[in-house]
Structure 1
Amino acid sequence: MSPEDELSPYLSDEELRQALELLFFAYRDFTGEPDAILASDGFGRAHHRVIYFVKRNPSITVNHLLGILKITKQSLSRVLGQLINEGYINQQTDSSDRRRRTLTLTPKGEALEGRLTGCQSARIGGAYRAAGAEAVKGFKAVLTQIINADDRARFTGGGPHTD
């Protein structure tokens, strides 16, 4: 039996639709608790993504963050401006290139990021423990293949990607 034959039961329309539904429900539940935390500060998911990737990539440049998020400068400017003005993110001029701006979390930003990531890590950790090691490897493989090919190189799986 070839590997393609083994996968054919999982490639039926029904199996694909079940996968879509699972992703929709998982995303809803994965984002639910953080959404409530963010809403209490007047923030949304765009703020969460910025905070997460600034934490994951200390001293990230604005351009690198734009590349990760794949949003317009205008969209990032609005969200980033709010996070800077409210004391969650520091923006500094890069000492090696005065044209670049780097971003880091403030202690207030670190605390918010910890709360957001903590609840999501607990959810994923529980799912990983329940599913087992082989399922975790398979899940990572599937998610990696869902990501656009040009972004797979950006994801290291072992830590942040540098400029």
Structure 2
Amino acid sequence: MTGRLLATAARVVEHRWNERLRDCGVSHAGLVLLHSLSQGPSGQRELAGRLRVTEQTLARTVATLESSGHVARHQDQPDRRRRTVEITPTGLDLLARMSDIGDDLTDEIVRSAGGDVAAFRQGLLALVDHLGSGDRFGQSGTDAPGGAATS
């Protein structure tokens, strides 16, 4: 039961994020991808593994962000079969704006349910660490950009 509640809560939060982010031309999955790329360029296969989505799902998100100028894909020089994705300056600007909006929205959702934002965040970080993702979202124990994208 707890697992289903956690999955349902994640979907509901993601839908809320998408409603707010749609006006800015990015989805929740796109925001998570931009955040991951803010750590540096990466191959599409590695990105899909890190974000726990299929390569096909990732390719659709990358294509959308590429068409809006937020990411760029390049053929890897050592291995021409490999595609590398990197965030553009436009993508970095969008990420900075959207991270603040997303943090505010998530905190608002937790507060509206009567929760303690800091305690809730710490609980989620403990869960993620315990499950061994090893991804602290590039930050020292603070907000994640909404969690991993789902396929």
Residue equivalent to 2:41: 59
Gap runs ≥5 in structure 1: 1-15, 126-130
Q: TM-score, normalised by structure 1?
A: 0.58
Alignment of 1:1-163 (within 5 A): 24=9, 28=13, 32=16, 34-55=17-38, 57-121=39-103, 139-140=121-122, 142-147=123-128, 149-151=131-133, 153-155=134-136, 158=140
Provide the TM-score with structure 2 as the length reference: 0.61
Cα distance, 1:122–1:46 mapped onto 2, change above 3 Å? closer
Indicate how the Cα distance of structure 1 residues 38 and 157 shifts in structure 2: closer, same or farther if over 3 A, else same: closer
Percent of counterpart pairs with the same letter? 23
Distance verdict in 2 for CA 1:37–1:106, change over 3 Å: farther
Partners in 2 of 1:47 and 1:106 — Cα distance? 13
State the secondary structure of the residue aligned to 1:71: coil
Other structure's SS at 1:90 match: strand
Largest Rg, 1 or 2: 1
Give the unaligned 5+ runs of structure 2: 108-115, 142-151
What value does the CA root-mean-square deviation take over the aligned residues? 3.7
Which protein has greater RCO, CA pairs closer than 8 Å, 6+ apart? Answer: 2
Q: Which has the higher helix share?
A: 1
